[in-house]
Amino acid sequence: MMEILIDFLAVLSLLFSIIGMINNKYWLLLICAVLVFPFSYSLSSALNLGAFIFLPLFYLGSAAALFTNNRSVAWLVLMPVFILAFFLLTIVFVFTSGAK
């Protein structure tokens, strides 16, 4: 049950980050950094790899770039988060589509 809540917060952070980037609201990206922290912590501990714990830093860097009105850098800093989300969704769909 807890994993479903953690995954929901991760998806919610992706949605809030898109809304924040479109509307130039850097504070939404700061909220996203807090929302994605449980997901990054569980992902780094589940895979025994500490690299995913730095996932909220991408949100913080994007918020800082958006605060200084540098939208292109903000999108570039946030791009690894979207690539990771797309990668994880692809893995989920590949492994669940074969189980009929």
Q: Is the pTM of this model over 0.85?
A: yes
Q: Three-state SS string across the chain, please?
A: CHHHHHHHHHHHHHHHHHHHHHCCCHHHHHHHHHHHHHHHHHHHHHCCCHHHHHHHHHHHHHHHHHHCCCHHHHHHHHHHHHHHHHHHHHHHHHHHHCCC
Convert the pLDDT of each residue in 11-69 to its tens digit: 999 999 999 999 999 999 999 999 999 888 888 877 777 677 888 999 999 999 999 99
> Contact 36/9 with Cβ under 8 angstroms?
yes
Residue spans of the domains in the chain: they are 2-97
Distances (CA, A) of 21 to 12, 25, 26, 37, 89: 14, 7, 7, 19, 22
pLDDT score of 99: 59
